Amino acid sequence: MKEVCDCKRKCPNSNTDCECFITEDGMIYFSPDGTMASFGVDINGVKGPNRNGRDVYLFETKTRDSKDMADYRVGTLFPVGSKSWSYYKYGNDSGYWRTSGRCTTEAADKGLPEALECTGRVLDEERLEY
């Protein structure tokens, strides 16, 4: 993957700019916090629809060691909305897309913040079917 250029883009769910870069294949990788502890990917780059849950997905990495998260190593990658992410983030399955019910067709069609939980759903189901 070759980095083509740096860019700025609006972060999902915020009015702030994200640091990002565009790869040779046109995908955009961006970081809402600038550290890549959480990062997103827009799989079709500048082409539309550029909506959460349709072509914009978010991931987080474990950045700290703690007793309650001993099952996960620092650097573990969590797709937002996945069961492992929910346990990492909340200590239970309340953020898991199956439990939360937030990854819906309506949320993704509108690009709502909760549609970022569709990242876990797409990876669980291995397809986009909502």
Distance CA 61, CA 38 (A): 6
Handedness of CA 118, 122, 128, 130 (dihedral sign): negative
Are the CB atoms for 6 and 28 separated by under 8 Å? no
Q: What is the chain's length?
A: 130
- Spatial contact of 128 and 122, defined as CB atoms under 8 Å apart: yes
Structure pTM?
0.82
The alpha carbon of residue 55 and the mean position of all alpha carbons in its chain are separated, in whole angstroms, by: 10
Residue 28 in this model has a pLDDT that exceeds 90: no
Out of 2-6, 9-13, 60-64, 101-105, give the one with best mean pLDDT.
101-105
